[in-house]
Each structure stands twice: as structure tokens, then as C-alpha cells.
Amino acid sequence: MSNPQSEPTYTIGELAREFAITPRSIRFYEEQGLISPARTGQNRIYCNKDRVRLKLILRGKRLGFSLAEVKNLFELYDTNPDSAVQLETMLQLTEQKRAVLTQQLEDITMLMQELDDVEARCQEELSELKRGNIA
Amino acid sequence: MSNPQSEPTYTIGELAREFAITPRSIRFYEEQGLISPARTGQNRIYCNKDRVRLKLILRGKRLGFSLAEVKNLFELYDTNPDSAVQLETMLQLTEQKRAVLTQQLEDITMLMQELDDVEARCQEELSELKRGNIA
DNA sequence: TATGCAATTTACGTTAACGTAAACCTGAAC
DNA sequence: GTTCAGGTTTACGTTAACGTAAATTGCATA
């Protein structure tokens, strides 16, 4: 019953190379309940879903999220809530996350501006140097 | 020679309350060379520049920067480089930071989209519930 | 003078996110 | 058969960013 050319799978080493992290990290994410790959006896086999998860984990980390936070997001995404109460709380959660992201957007634009400032000052000084100023 | 109404200053407790952090954190930032407030004998006195720095530190932290990174940015901003070489390396540094921020912008927009997805699914299910579906 | 509050230094404790080392298995290649 | 690359578990080490506790100090107020 197994598809002849079912789904692409990956070893831990492959994923580690692709995302430029160590196998140790990937195992750690599993230990924390963020991924749960299949096994061939001892060895881990990662499917596409696992790979996507890894990508999401790293994205979260780049934004300064903790692994617990990322796990939180996963559960948020995976859960298929049956009660209206659950749906409401989920909406509240997404709103919270959205607030964080909005704050980060603001932070980034302000930092970008400051980088512009620094850069502009540099460029100006450089052109002054080229004109051969001493005064 | 001291201005009668020179500049607003702050105690460590005031700043801690304003930014919702502990005095311990503020002292720690000083220990790491990120701030260097004046003193009245033993006590620290923070001026406007110090306050701004604190704000910048927290902004950096929200973006997942380490304190060392933030310090790096400060030095970048403070240094008045005299040589063309220094100016060039500074431009390279700003470019690096800009790359990080750009990546974060992309990360955020993608996460936002996923939040949109989750939210849309929730809204739909909620309206279904309201219509009183069981099938 | 005593009491209390806010600040200080010193130092050890803690959590998250891995790194690193040891000891083992295992299928493919030589 | 052995070598070897890649994988496994177990366990202890490490770094960053503070928390927390203890002992001290200075100022204000009762």
C-alpha cells in the first residue's frame, strides 16, 4: 500500500546542512516537542511537514521568539477547536501575536531610519575626505 | 555654572518603572557597558541620553538582538571615524544590520499571513457554529 | 534616636538553547 | 572482516541575561 513514489523524506544530516544548523539542534527541537519525525528503527526520517516546521522554528528564532513561543504557535495552528470558547481564545491569541509583530515592524522601521542616518553621515564624511579636507 | 533648570534626570527606580523592567536589569546593562550614568556619591543619575539608550536597548531586545549586538550598534552610532577605512567598515556594518532587518521584515509578513489564515479559519468555523450546524 | 525606604555592592542561583564528549550501532564499501 | 561515515542515546558543560539574597549605606521622617 505504500506509494511507489510517495513523499520526499530527509535524514537529520540533510536537514541540518540545508538549514545550516547542527543535528543536535534538530534533536533538541524534537525533545522540546516541536517536531516528531518518523523512525526507521533508530533513525529519524523527516517528511515535508517536518521540514516546514523546521523552517518555521528558525523563522521564529530570527524574530526573537523562544522555542516555547514557537511551540505555542504550532499548537495554535494545529488545533482544530470544536467549541466556540476555544475559537474565541484562539482569536485572542492571534491578536496578541499580531500585536507583537506590529510592534516589531515599528521597531524595525525606526532602526532602519537610524541606519540611514549613520550611513548618510558616513557618506558625507567620505566625500569630504575625497575632496581632501583638513579643516 | 550649573543651569538653574538644566536637564531632567531620573533615578534608577523611575526608569525601571517607566520601562517596566527591574533596576537589576538596568545595572546589568551598565555592567555590560551599554550605559554609563553619572553619580551622586553612590547613587546613579540618569540623563536624557541614558534614557534614550535604555529605550534603544529594549527595542533591540524585542528584535532578538543580544546585548553585545546592541552595544555594537551603539559604538557604530557613537564613533566618529577619522579614517576612510573606518568609514568603509562602518558602511559595511550598517549594510549587515540592514540585511538582518530586511530578513526580519520578510519573516514578519509571512507570519502575519499565517495568522490571517488561522484567523480566517476561526471566523468561518464560528459563523458555522452560529448557524447551528452539526453535520 | 529609631525606623523605614531606596539605593548600593557582592555573589551565588537559574533558565534557555544548545555544544561537546563518550560509547554504541549499522549498512555500505573495500 | 574491517573500516568508516552517519546515526543514536546519555550526560555533563556552557553562555547570556538576568533573579535573588545578604549585608551595607544614606536620607528623611516620626
Contact assignment for B97 to A111 by CB distance below 8 Å: yes
The reported pLDDT for the residue numbered B5 is: 47
Query: Above 70 in pLDDT, residue B121?
Result: yes
pLDDT-wise least confident of A38-47, B44-53, B67-76, B77-86: B77-86
What confidence tier does B134 reach under pLDDT thresholds 50, 70, 90?
low
DSSP SS3 for A44: strand
What confidence tier does A4 reach under pLDDT thresholds 50, 70, 90?
very low
Residue B34 and residue B57 in contact, taking contact as beta carbons nearer than 8 Å: yes
Q: Where are the alpha helices (DSSP H) in A20-135?
A: 23-31, 48-62, 67-78, 84-130
The reported pLDDT for the residue numbered A15 is: 96
Q: What is the average pLDDT score of chain A?
A: 87
CA separation, residue A39 to residues A5, A43, A44 (Å): 18, 5, 5
What confidence tier does A133 reach under pLDDT thresholds 50, 70, 90?
low
Query: Above 70 in pLDDT, residue A107?
Result: yes
Q: What is the dihedral of CA A67, A32, A90, B116, to 10 degrees?
A: 50
User: Which residues sit close to strand C, CB under 7 Å?
Assistant: A 21-22, 24-25, 28, 32, 41-42, 61, 66-68; B 11-14, 23, 27, 42-44
Q: B81: closest CA among B72, B69, B91?
A: B91
- Domain definitions of chain B by residue range: 1-63, 79-135
Query: Above 60 in pLDDT, residue A13?
Result: yes
The separation between CA A27 and the C-alpha centre of its own chain, rounded to angstroms, equals 17
The reported pLDDT for the residue numbered B40 is: 86
Q: Fold for B1-63, please state it.
A: Multidrug-efflux Transporter Regulator; Chain: A; Domain 2 (1.10.1660)
The reported pLDDT for the residue numbered B1 is: 41
Q: Does B134 touch chain A if contact means CB atoms closer than 8 Å?
A: no
| pLDDT tens for each residue of A43-88 | 999 999 999 999 999 999 988 889 999 998 898 888 777 788 888 8
Q: For strand C, which nucleotides have at least one atom less than 7 Å from a protein CB?
A: 6-9, 16-20, 26-27
The reported pLDDT for the residue numbered B64 is: 84
Chain B residues 48-87 within 7 Å (CB) of strand D:
61, 66-68
The shortest C-alpha distance from A24 to chain B (Å) reads 22
What confidence tier does A134 reach under pLDDT thresholds 50, 70, 90?
low
Task: Give the whole-angstrom CA distance, residue B37 versus residue B26.
Answer: 10
Contact assignment for B84 to A108 by CB distance below 8 Å: no
The shortest C-alpha distance from B1 to chain A (Å) reads 31
Contact assignment for B84 to A129 by CB distance below 8 Å: yes
Contact assignment for B62 to A103 by CB distance below 8 Å: yes
Q: What percent of chain A has pLDDT over 70?
A: 93
Task: Give the whole-angstrom CA distance, residue B104 versus residue B64.
Answer: 10
Q: Label the pairing between strands B38-40 and B43-45.
A: antiparallel
Q: Does A77 touch chain B if contact means CB atoms closer than 8 Å?
A: yes
Residues 6+ apart with CB under 8 A from A115: B94, B97, B98, B101
Stronger pLDDT, B58 or B130, i.e. the higher one: B58
The separation between CA A66 and the C-alpha centre of its own chain, rounded to angstroms, equals 10
The reported pLDDT for the residue numbered B4 is: 42
Query: Above 90 in pLDDT, residue B125?
Result: no
Q: B58: closest CA among B21, B30, B102?
A: B21
What confidence tier does B3 reach under pLDDT thresholds 50, 70, 90?
very low
The reported pLDDT for the residue numbered B110 is: 93
Q: Which nucleotide shows the minimum CA-to-C1' distance to residue B11? A: C7
Contact assignment for B112 to A98 by CB distance below 8 Å: yes
Q: What is the DSSP string of chain B?
A: ---TT----B-HHHHHHHHT--HHHHHHHHHTTS---EEETTEEEB-HHHHHHHHHHHHHHHTT--HHHHHHHHHHHH----SHHHHHHHHHHHHHHHHHHHHHHHHHHHHHHHHHHHHHHHHHHHHHHHTT---
